[in-house]
Structure 1
Amino acid sequence: MSKTESPYLSAREEWLERYGSYIEGRNQWRLVALVCLLITAISISMNFVQATQNKVVPYVVEVDKLGHSVAVKRADQAEPVSHRIIQAEIANLIVNWRTVTADIGLQKKMVQRMSSFVIGAARGATRGWYEANNPYERGQKALVEVDIKGIPLPVSSESWRIEWLETVRNHSGVAMTSTKYEATVKVRISPPTTDSQIIRNPAGVYVTELSWAKLLEQ
């Protein structure tokens, strides 16, 4: 007995043969399009995240013998801070710390510059000095001129010694007293990572410990 062939099954088979490959191809392209859309969405999201993040590149600034900036290098690519830079920053710190002027605006700037270079115990030491020797009150009666005597010299891998002469003058410019001092400072290098640090302390030279005394030989 022969098997009767259904016209509906024959038509379905013919339709599948003719259009099945088209349908399969369409489904594959849909999958590819979906993957592309997903990749695009991820890429846009990552770009947005990067755009909203503040990325600060640290820099190291080189100075000349007068303490003026002469070169700028990326801190993540730069070599260790040279002794010349450390010496200049230590000398500037002493001048900004101990100078007394009648110009209140200038005095404020000097105090702010000094505070940008001291941290830890050194910050506490300088704060105690200002409490006992308020520069704004002293400036109403006398002026103090600071003269650095030679470049700071290293006494260890982290500590430096510096000498200076303080001359107290009246507002007429007449010298009243002159006193020699020496200080030992401990230095730590910490490259800047924020905009404010780059502006205030671009070399990243910080004094962590500070002790000073009068020199006996005057």
Structure 2
Amino acid sequence: MPEKHPDSPYISAKEEWFERYGSYITSRNQWRAAALIMALTVCLSLTINIIQAMQHKVVPYVVEVDKLGKSVAVKRADQAEPVSARIIQAEIANLIVNWRTVTADIGLQKKMVQRMSSFVIGAAQGAARGWYQANNPYERGQKFLVEVDIKGIPLPVSSESWRIEWLETVRNHSGVAVSSTKYEATLKVRISPPTTDSQIIRNPAGVYVTELSWAKLLEQ
């Protein structure tokens, strides 16, 4: 117990106050410190959760194809297997058909343009856009139709590039052939697994064409 000072009532009163209320003050300060630590912990936890939610997460999928190489099913997998050459060949062939076909059915034509656009990125996207600007399929469809016949499966020319040939037959609206022209194209392909639901629907195999060049074949 603190020593009393009878000659100084003020000091005695101060010592008595500290003796009675000092423990309360100490306890209050301890609770404040604990509450502050808890608040900082909650803020830190929320910040980490927000950062994790904002990060892009890649979800692997397995794409099943039929005998023609068309995508028929998509499944989640812990580890997605590499995209086979057959799938790449099928997607390239589909891209050419959707790109160069001209039909009088405006609804179908629009879907074909959208499908083609889902597979081209980078320089290939610019090349396709330039083609559509110079050869508007909706305007062409009012005068004639273009049928695309793929000549053989696409063949690899390097680890990333593929070559494909096709025949374009132009017909009038009576079905009479006006002309036939053979073409070839070289496409550079990149595989990017889908990460969103929209990408899974539009391009489930993640096959993208990054470069695209084409020309008429001399032998007609």
- Fold shared, TM-score > 0.5 on shorter chain: yes
Q: CA deviation at 1:172?
A: 1.1
Q: Are 1:166 and 1:178, in contact at CA under 8 Å, matched by a contact in 2?
A: yes
Aligned to 1:112: 114
Counterpart-to-counterpart distance in 2, 1:168 and 1:118: 25
SS of the residue aligned with 1:168? Answer: strand
| Corresponding position: 1:203 with 2:196 | no
Shift of 1:80: 1.2
Distance 1:120 1:42 in 2: 40
Q: What residue identity is the alignment partner of 1:184?
A: T
- How many residue pairs were aligned? 213
Cα separation, 2, equivalents of 1:53 and 1:112 = 29
Q: CA deviation at 1:174?
A: 1.2
How many angstroms apart in 2 are the aligned matches of 1:69 and 1:217?
37
Q: Which amino acid aligns with 1:195?
A: D
**Paired letter, 1:62:** V
For residues 81 and 139 of structure 2, the distance between their equivalents in structure 1, rounded to whole angstroms, comes to: 43
The runs of at least 4 consecutive aligned structure 1 residues that moved more than 3 Å come to 38-47, 49-57
Aligned to 1:58: 59
Q: CA deviation at 1:62?
A: 2.8
Aligned 8 A contact 1:153 1:160 in 2: yes
Q: 2:90 aligns with which of 84, 88, 93?
A: 88
Once residues 46 and 126 of structure 1 are traced to their aligned partners in structure 2, the CA distance between those partners, rounded to angstroms, is: 43
Distance 1:63 1:181 in 2: 30
Mapped contact 1:170–1:176 kept (Cα < 8 A): yes
Question: 1:168: how far off?
Answer: 0.6
Q: Which digits, 9 at most, give the CA deviation of each residue in 1:133-163, with x for residues without a partner?
A: 0000000000001111111110000000001
Amino acid at match of 2:75: V
CA distance in 2, matches of 1:41, 1:105: 52
Aligned to 2:79: 77
Query: Using the alignment, how far apart are the partners of 1:139 and 1:183 within structure 2?
Result: 23
Equivalent pairs: percent with the same residue? Answer: 78
Could you give the per-residue CA deviations for residues 45-99 of structure 1, whole angstroms, max 9, x where no partner exists? 988x69977986534453432413245343x611211101111111111011000
Structure 1 residue corresponding to 2:134, chosen from 132, 135, 146 = 132
Tell me, which stretches of 5 or more residues in structure 1 are unaligned? 1-34
Deviation per CA, 1:168-196, whole angstroms, max 9, x where unpaired? 11111111111111000000011111222
TM-aligned CA deviation for residue 164 of structure 1: 0.6
Instruction: Please say if residues 69 and 86 of structure 2, whose CA atoms lie closer than 8 Å, have aligned partners that are also in contact.
Output: no
Alignment match, 1:178 = 180
- What TM-score comes out, normalization by structure 2 length? 0.73
CA contact (8 A) 1:182 1:212 kept: yes
Query: Which residue does 1:192 correspond to in 2?
Result: 194
Identify unmatched segments of 5+ residues in structure 2.
Answer: 1-36
Normalising to structure 1: TM-score of the pair?
Answer: 0.74
Change (3 A) 1:52 1:213: closer
CA 163–73 in structure 1, closer or farther in 2 if over 3 Å, else same: farther
